[in-house]
Amino acid sequence: MKSSVLGVLAGIATGAVLGILFAPDKGSKTRKKIKNKSIEAKENLKEEFDNFLETVSKKYDSVVKNGEEILEKGKKEIKDTVNSKL
């Protein structure tokens, strides 16, 4: 899913740059527009990447928590089994 989002962002950025390059403006205006669009694309990409990292972090924390719960449950079952055989 994230690769498709990045692909869409790259496509939008490419389209914007090409649109600016073929616009009938002076070179200085065109360069300024390209710079502004590049900054905008970079900010959008950073935001998407930050969201991706946050999602991965939450999933990792969830997996660690579930693993710890399973480990504790297993330890309790082993202890109960050993105690019942004594």
In whole angstroms, give the CA distance from residue 50 to residue 74. Answer: 36
Angle subtended by helix axes 27-85 and 2-21, to nearest 10: 180
Tokens, residue 32 = 């300024």
Q: What is the pTM of this model?
A: 0.53
Could you count the other beta carbons within 10 Å of the beta carbon of residue 44?
A: 14
Long-range contacts of residues 49-57, Cβ cutoff 8 Å, at least 24 apart: 52/2
Regions of the chain with pLDDT less than 50: none
What pLDDT, on the 0 to 100 scale, is given for residue 41?
84
Alpha helices in 1-86 (DSSP H): 2-21, 27-85
What pLDDT, on the 0 to 100 scale, is given for residue 64?
96
